[in-house]
Homo-oligomer: A and B are copies of this chain.
Amino acid sequence: MSEEKGTLPSKETFSEWYNEILWRAEVMDVRYPVKGVYVWYPHGFAVRKAVYSALRELLDRDHEETLFPLLIPENEFMKEAEHIKGFEEEVYWVTHGGTSELDVPLALRPTSETAIYPMYALWVRSHADLPLRLYQIVNTFRYETKHTRPLIRLREITSFKEAHTVHATWDDAKDQVEDAVALYTEFYRRLCVPVIISKRPDWDKFPGADYTMATDAVMPDGRTLQVGTVHHLGDNFSKTFDISFEDENGEQKPAFQTCYGISERCIAALISVHGDDKGLVLPPEMAPVQVVIVPIIMKKRADEILESAKALEKELKEAGLRVRIDDRPLRPGAKYYHWEMKGVPLRLELGPRDIDNNVVMSANRLGEKASLSRENITEDVRKSLDAFAESLRNRAEETVKEKIRKADTLDEAGKAVEDGVAVVQWCGCESCANEIEKRLNVSILGSEIRSEYISDAEGECIICKKAGKPALVARSY
């Protein structure tokens, strides 16, 4: 019987741990015969379903879901020069249909601006059509030449959520950027994954954007993972694709746009931030199975125990919980191991003595045990799951806080980024950034940081000593 708490992966063990957990917990199979694309096991897919269902729920409050084609004709794709530059090395091209060559090569969308905006040009006519807020969840493609990694760096991103909005003014679009940042914050709160929001440096923004706000998670090895971006597109694309509207005074005006995306990297973060050496650890909302019932079968009273376990299952299911009863002919220990690996938040054990005492034994995925009264079981299970989510969120926050360090000198910053993220004062200029990046082999993630863990007190740039603001410095995926 596994009694001990699991151990979180460390800087040294993370990479191997990550590769192992993907197949042990049946999240992804990496053996598909094309580099950089992977297969979702049913369990991994069920996690994906729960995660994206939460994301959909948040978006559906004031967005509508839609679907645009995967194939983008070369001429449309090539319209926005800056945008192309950002993607030209990464695009897959379809050149043949059957045995004949296509007249116009077709790009597999790396992202859908150039697929969607020609249609927006047709759809947006008047100020009454604005704001327009649509999103889609689709597969997108990048011909990655760097080392690929499941859920993190992919050639087929199977679950790219991209939202595209249109507004009457630059300020309206700015407000939308803020709304999207708030939505992403709420989303990651539900995943119990702490994230840091910042504004990417100008040279690191989305190709064609006015500016980019980014969401980064901190992985167990201290490297950061970009898990969401929000772009203010200004009127750059709307001018190219001719998206304009008639305002209240009958004047034709170019529209302003934003777009914002989250890929299955959110699942990479979810897995990595919570998982331990026993397997996945999933917040209840994201767990395909929230409660597993393990009947402790004693030969004499086997039927009675199984009956009782089934009654318990029925009761919890009727309360809307995702419950599974494990009545396989295996030792309880083997079952515990199995469901711990799968990340089930709460295990209920039911043996003859528990039935006699009218109780159910519970153990959550962090190893906390309790005896619950059989009578109030539904309410108690709900409370246990809520408390578990809270514990998980707190633990993740504590772990991340330890990985973020204020650094007053390059030396200190160098040490900080060995284990995580350094917060340094930076004047905002590119040459100081280059200096920091080159000397420490890091990236400047961004400034205008939004995080309750990080002070926004200003100081002097660690390079040029001019007035600076806090900036995030880290090695990133």
Contacts and interface: CB of A to CB of B under 8 A. Distances in A.
B98 A95 contact: no
A342 to B, nearest CB: 13
A267 to B, nearest CB: 12
Copies of chain A in the complex:
2
Given A76-B33, A156-B69, A93 B94 contact: yes
A42 interface: yes
A138 B64 CA distance: 20
A98 B94 contact: no
A291 interface: no
Contact of A65 (B45, B97, B122): B45
Contact of A94 (B39, B48, B94, B122): B94
A92 B88 contact: no
A88 B94 contact: no
Contact of A37 (B41, B64, B69, B145): B69
B88 A97 contact: no
A69 B119 contact: no
A42 B134 contact: yes
A207 interface: no
State which size class the interface on A falls in.
Answer: 35 or more
Contacts of A97: 90-93, 143
Contacts of A115: 32
A428 interface: no
A94 to B, nearest CB: 5
Interface in A253-307: none
A34 B119 contact: no
Nearest to A105: B96
A119 B30 CA distance: 10
Contact of A40 (B48, B67, B158): B67
Contact of A119 (B39, B76, B118, B122): B39
Contacts of A39: 66-69, 119
A325 interface: no
A134 B46 CA distance: 12
A139 to B, nearest CB: 6
Contact of A156 (B45, B71, B96, B158): B71
Contacts of A31: 119, 122
A145 to B, nearest CB: 8
A246 interface: no
A48 B136 CA distance: 13
6 contacts: A29-B119, A32-B69, A45-B64, A49-B65, A92-B96, A92-B106
Interface of A: 29, 31-34, 37-42, 45-46, 48-49, 64-73, 76, 88-99, 105-106, 108, 115, 118-119, 122, 134, 138-139, 143, 145, 155-156, 158
Given A40-B67, A45-B66, A71-B155, 6 more contacts: A33-B76, A34-B72, A39-B68, A90-B97, A92-B94, A97-B143
